[in-house]
């Protein structure tokens, strides 16, 4: 017997080009007891497809179980968050900024000093002068009053400021 049509259907089945009716033809063919030897290896596949949907059928109460699981109210536990817990990320950020600024100032000190070696400038008669490094107090940006206190300003009747 010529099974050319079945072989063509199998080729189309492997390329996923068969229709549902053609797949039913293949299932019906492989459900027979009399199958050629070269096509016998495909029989378990189509037998599985024929029998499997009957085994994996959901029960009638499946929908009810799923709805019961999804409709259960969830208990939400409230917890108290204190003010230090809320501000902890801010404290960490401030600490990091303080560390970075401190390290930045510490790194600037060696670069601000002159590269003069105090021992090489020693003449033998006087003590070498050791230079002091820069510090925050020495380079403070506070303004000094440049106007002597003895000078006072007065305004004349013409609106001009006169300094005595």
Question: Which tens digit of pLDDT belongs to each residue from 56-86?
Answer: 667 788 888 888 888 767 778 888 989 999 9
The interaxial angle of helices 20-30 and 4-14, nearest 10 deg, is: 120
Structural domain of 22: 4-60
Residue 47 domain flag: yes
pLDDT bin (cut points 50, 70, 90) of residue 159 is low
Residue 93 domain flag: no
Residue 76 domain flag: no
Residue 34 domain flag: yes
Residue 155 domain flag: no
Of the CA atoms within 13 Å of residue 125, those in its CB half-sphere come to 0
Q: pLDDT of 80-120, one tens digit each? A: 989 999 999 999 999 999 999 999 988 887 777 665 555 65
Q: pLDDT of 132-155, one tens digit each? A: 555 555 555 555 555 555 555 555
Residue 40 domain flag: yes
pTM: 0.33
Number of domains in the chain: 1
Residue 83 domain flag: no
Residue 112 domain flag: no
């Amino acid at each position: 017997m010529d099974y050319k049509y079945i072989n063509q259907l199998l080729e189309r089945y492997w390329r996923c080009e068969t229709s549902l009716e053609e797949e039913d033809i293949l299932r019906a063919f492989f459900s027979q007891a009399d199958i050629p030897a070269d096509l016998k290896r495909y029989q378990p596949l189509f037998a599985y497809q024929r029998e499997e949907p009957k085994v994996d059928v959901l029960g009638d109460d499946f929908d009810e179980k799923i709805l019961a699981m999804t409709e259960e109210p969830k208990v939400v536990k409230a917890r108290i968050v204190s003010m230090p817990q809320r501000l902890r990320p801010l404290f960490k950020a401030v600490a990091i900024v303080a560390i970075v600024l401190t390290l930045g100032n510490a790194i600037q000190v060696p670069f601000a000093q002159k590269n003069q070696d105090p021992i090489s400038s020693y003449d033998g008669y006087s003590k070498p002068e050791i230079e002091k490094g820069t510090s925050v107090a020495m380079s403070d940006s506070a303004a000094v009053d440049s106007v002597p206190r003895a000078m006072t300003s007065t305004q004349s009747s013409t609106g001009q400021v006169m300094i005595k």
